[in-house]
Amino acid sequence: MNRRPIWLITVLAAAATLAAACGSSGGGSASKGTITIGGFDFAESSVLSQLYGQALARDGYTVNYKLRLGNREVVAPALKAGQIDMYAGYSATELEYYNGKLGEASSDVTATTAKLNLRLQPLQLEALTPSAAVDQNAFAVPKAIAQKYNLTKLSDLAAVGSQLVLGGPAECPTRPFCQPGLEKTYGIHFKSFKALDADGPLTRAAFANGSIQVGLVFTTDSDLGKLGLVVLQDDKHLENADNVVPIIRTKVATDEVKTVLNRISANLTTEELITMNGQVELLHQDPDAVARAFLQQHKYFGG
């Protein structure tokens, strides 16, 4: 009975498992510490995470990335539990998430961020200085629909909403800046809601085949015009100051870390964000390459 090969195979398999498991734990040389950055599941979040991460890495920190984790409902608990150390958030939406949808956010970014920090403090979290770059929710319709129903602003939807289908990410029916906000602020009641993605290929495909007429998009999209979509004006200011702002665990937010991150935020504009999104989404460039180019352009490396 030839049992040797069985034992050999078992030992090899066990060894391979151990090797694989051990290989994944990285070793750090003299670094200032490890920071884990989490990202949402859309391209812009990967770009922002890389921007902040590469700046920190350049400054001597070991940076781990956990990108494309999901939406805020998934990422925020990970931050609270300490599985990630920071993520790039959007001021007003963060406030409404952490205050339990109280409706405190406004278009004043400083006030909004201050209220956000009040909410974050008991959780040992902190919002840093918000950037000038803004990415808000917006709602778009195809040109044909806009012409058919004479739509230029969101309040125009109140009359015809019941004939239209709204498309957005799965959490839209529960997010204050999404479906509930449209109902409360504008009195729009849609015929139905179709769960797709956060302004991704599923949403665009749904626009294209007519299964939705109104869809959630982001104001930093680079290709809405090309897709024949018209953004409806937010005349009653449902959307608020969604400036990019790092949400970080206080323990990790040393003065040095804060300086590095705030410098990035200060140099980031909405136009540049739109450009970088376009490079990733349309030209299929890597978020880390796009971020590196931005940092080089702003002379972060050797500048």
Partner 1 sequence: MSVLASVWQWFADPSHWQGENGVPTRIVEHVQLSAESVLIGAVIALPLGIALGHYGRFGNLAINISNVGRSVPSFAILVVAFQIFGLGDLPVILALTALAIPPMVTNSYVALREVDPDVRDAARGMGYRELAQLFRVELPLAVPLLMAGIRTSAVQVVATATLAALIAGGGLGRYIIDGFGQQNYPMMISGAILVALLALATEVSLSAVERLLVPRGIRLLMAPKMRRATSFKVA
Partner 2 sequence: MTGGLFLDVVDPWINWDWLGAHISYVLGAFGQHLELTLIAVTLGLLIALPLGIAAQRTRWLRVTALGVFGTFYTIPSLALFALLVPYTGIDTVQTAEIPLVGYNVLILLRNVVVGLDAVPRDVLDAADGMGYRPFARTLRVELPLALPAIFAGLRVATVSTIGIITITAVIGLGGFGQLINQGLQESFHSPLVVATILSITFALVADLLLFAGQRLALPWARQA
- Vertex 110, ends 36 and 154: CA angle to 5°? 95
61 binds, among partner 1, partner 2, none (CB under 5 to 8 A by kind): none
Residues 185-214 that bind partner 1 (CB under 8 A): 192, 194-197, 201-202, 205-206, 208-209, 211
Structure tokens at 84: 């990630």
Selected range binding partner 2 among 4-12, 182-190, 241-249, 252-260, rule: CB under 8 A: 4-12
Residue 108 touches partner 1, criterion: CB under 8 A: no
Identify which of 205, 225, 185, 247 has the alpha carbon closest to the alpha carbon of residue 40.
Answer: 247
Q: What are phi and psi of 41, to 5 degrees?
A: -90, 50
Indicate which single residue of 33, 173, 200, 278 sits in contact with partner 2 (rule: CB under 8 A). Answer: 200
Strand segments (E) across the chain: 34-40, 62-70, 86-90, 125-127, 137-142, 165-168, 192-195, 214-218, 229-232, 244-249
- Vertex 124, ends 118 and 128: CA angle to 5°? 60
- In terms of CB distance, is 206 or 261 closer to partner 2? 206
200 binds, among partner 1, partner 2, none (CB under 5 to 8 A by kind): partner 2
Strand partners, 30: none
Residue 183 touches partner 1, criterion: CB under 8 A: no
CA dihedral 271, 272, 276, 281 (to 10 degrees): -10
Indicate which single residue of 33, 70, 228, 278 sits in contact with partner 1 (rule: CB under 8 A). Answer: 70
Half-sphere exposure of 82 (CA within 13 A, CB side): 5
Contact criterion met (CB below 8 Å) for 61 and 258: no
Residue 24 touches partner 2, criterion: CB under 8 A: yes
Residue 228 touches partner 2, criterion: CB under 8 A: no
Residues 43-72 that bind partner 2 (CB under 8 A): 43, 66, 68-70
158 binds, among partner 1, partner 2, none (CB under 5 to 8 A by kind): none
Strand partners, 90: 244
Residue 96 to residues 8, 72, 271, Cα–Cα distance (Å):
58, 11, 25
Residue 281 touches partner 1, criterion: CB under 8 A: no
Selected range binding partner 1 among 8-16, 124-132, 171-179, 249-257, rule: CB under 8 A: 171-179
Selected range binding partner 2 among 39-47, 88-96, 151-159, 187-195, rule: CB under 8 A: 39-47
In the bound complex, what is the minimum distance in angstroms from residue 31's beta carbon to partner 2?
A: 20
The binding site for partner 1 (CB under 8 A) comprises: 70-71, 73-74, 77, 169-171, 173-174, 192, 194-197, 201-202, 205-206, 208-209, 211
